Amino acid sequence: MFDVEKIKKDFPILDQEIYGKKLVYLDSAATTQKPKQVINEVSKFYSSLNSNIHRGVHYLSIKSTEEYEKSRDTVCKFINAKHTEEIIFTKGTTEAVNLTAYSFGERFVNEGDEILVAKTEHHSNIVPWQMLCYRKNAVLKVIPADENGELKINEYKKLLNPKTKLVAVAHIANSTGVINPIKEIIDAAHNNGTYVLIDGAQAVQHKQVDVQSLDCDFYAFSGHKMFAETGIGVLYGKKEILEDIPPYQGGGDMIKTVSFEKTEYADLPYKFEAGTSNYVGAISIAKAIEYMQSVGLDEIEIYEKKLLKYATDKLLSIDKIKIYGQTEKKISAISFLLNGIHHYDTGMILDKLGIAVRTGTHCAEPTMKHFGIDGTVRASFAMYNTKEDIDKLYEGLMRVKKMFA
Ligand code: PMP
């Protein structure tokens, strides 16, 4: 049984007042809060096991290394990767995309080749590809979207051609919550001999992801958006591709031997993990996964779907509200504007009522431009949000409207 009140109690930060009002946290797409199980695990680790990994022969170092590698195993099973060494720890989604753009780009992208990104991407799944295109004299092409922020799949298929080397698309768009049809995108790309990276930053905390059944070549996500620490993330890549592409950064841990004449790189996954990894962050991801699994990924998805429907219906009952990304195929975020009221004003008034929402472009300027606006208010949910949170948002928005009437 999904028990939101019990879940909420696991997140200590939610139990506080802001400006004398009970906190209503509706900014989980920016970062999720952390359950005490994760916080305690990190504290316990620093209090009893901490030592640098892959370095020492002493007890603590061996234990730290074991915990780090166990976390890789947990992540591997969580997304159903085939091999543990397909899991690369990065500092987040951004670094995972940059790693791919660099290493894949060095190996596979040449002058005149094309990279496809969706119009509704987060900047971190646009700019690294743009940088690659500058470097290689390649061409960045854009998959168009319709007025709801849904991708035009037929147009996408027409863009695929022998020069298309890679397609980079979000599983779920962060600025609208729209779920992209990634299976169809991946299958069409593969039929064209094109590789695919999926940005899963907004997906893994809301639904079960299976990289083998998706058959994507790369899948990226961040710890801090899935109830774990910040400064840690994951790049999944198919083993045969990761083996074939050069490392992203050089340094300790990513080598077998070094001499001034020649360096031999380490095997996977270490080839892509130069320097001291955020091993505590990795351990926090494993604990966050354990926490999500104890609640149940399917249960989380079902609950959040109901909550989104409740929130959408409630907000749509407000006169002259416009929701951007209004479609059935979405998850846990509502991006909106109250007619004539600037998103910052709405956000600042809501803040004074103890309600945390996001305002602005959500690191997706091209998406905002597509909608012909300079930003939205975004309320985003996680498994700990309740109908009462939505009711408070509704009341807050009514206050905003009254103030601007
Ligand atoms: N992609 C998407 C879809 C996101 O929502 C975000 C974070 N807002 C990122 C990429 C970047 O994630 P990070 O800042 O954790 O690297």
Mean pLDDT, each 10-residue run in order, the chain (405 residues):
97 97 98 98 97 91 97 98 98 98 98 98 98 98 98 98 98 98 98 98 98 98 98 98 98 95 97 97 98 98 98 97 96 95 98 98 98 98 98 98 93
**Quick check: is 151 in a domain?**
yes
User: Which of 270, 293, 316 is where one domain is finished?
Assistant: 293
Verify that 54 and 138 share a domain, yes or no.
Answer: yes
Tell me how crowded residue 147 is: count the other CB atoms within 10 A of its CB. Answer: 11
CATH of the domain at 389: 3.90.1150.10
User: Which of 227, 261, 293 is where one domain is finished?
Assistant: 293
Q: Give the separation between CA 247 and CA 270, rounded to whole angstroms.
A: 9
Atom of ligand 1 nearest to the CA of 170: 3
Sole residue written with tokens 């195929």: 329
**Quick check: is 43 in a domain?**
no
User: Which of 272, 293, 314 is where one domain is finished?
Assistant: 293
CA of 96 from ligand 1 middle (Å) equals 10
Verify that 177 and 189 share a domain, yes or no.
Answer: yes
**Quick check: is 41 in a domain?**
no
Verify that 300 and 247 share a domain, yes or no.
Answer: no
DSSP E strands in 171-279: the ranges are: 195-199, 218-222, 233-237, 255-258, 263-265
Angle CA 287–239–211, to nearest 5: 55
Verify that 260 and 324 share a domain, yes or no.
Answer: no
Verify that 257 and 340 share a domain, yes or no.
Answer: no
CA of 248 from ligand 1 middle (Å) equals 20
348 Cβ contact partners less than 8 Å away, ≥ 6 residues apart:
none
Verify that 173 and 301 share a domain, yes or no.
Answer: no
- As for ligand 1, residues whose beta carbon falls within 6 Å of it are 92-94, 122, 124-125, 170, 174, 199, 201-202, 222, 224, 363
**Quick check: is 195 in a domain?**
yes
Verify that 132 and 227 share a domain, yes or no.
Answer: yes
pTM value is 0.98
Element holding 347 (H helix, E strand):
helix 343-352
**Quick check: is 34 in a domain?**
no
CATH of the domain at 87: 3.40.640.10
CA of 390 from ligand 1 middle (Å) equals 24
Domain with 123, as residue range(s), is 49-293
What is the number of domains present in the chain?
Answer: 2
What DSSP string runs through 365-403?
HHHHHHHTSS-EEEEE--TT--HHHHHHHHHHHHHHHHH
The residue whose CA is least distant from atom 8 of ligand 1 is 30
Verify that 250 and 311 share a domain, yes or no.
Answer: no
The alpha carbons of the chain give a radius of gyration, in whole angstroms, of 22
**Quick check: is 93 in a domain?**
yes
Verify that 235 and 332 share a domain, yes or no.
Answer: no
Verify that 279 and 390 share a domain, yes or no.
Answer: no
What are the start-end ranges of the H helices in 18-115? 36-48, 59-78, 93-108
**Quick check: is 141 in a domain?**
yes
**Quick check: is 42 in a domain?**
no
Q: How many residues are listed for the chain in this entry?
A: 405
216 given a catalytic annotation = no
pLDDT for the residue 239:
98
- The residue annotated as part of the active site, out of 76, 133, 216, 363, is 363
Atom of ligand 1 nearest to the CA of 363: 8
Verify that 20 and 66 share a domain, yes or no.
Answer: no
Q: How far, in Å, are 85, 316, 348, 365, 370 from residue 374 at the CA level?
A: 42, 21, 17, 8, 10
* CA 371 to chain centroid: 22
CA of 117 from ligand 1 middle (Å) equals 15
Verify that 146 and 275 share a domain, yes or no.
Answer: yes
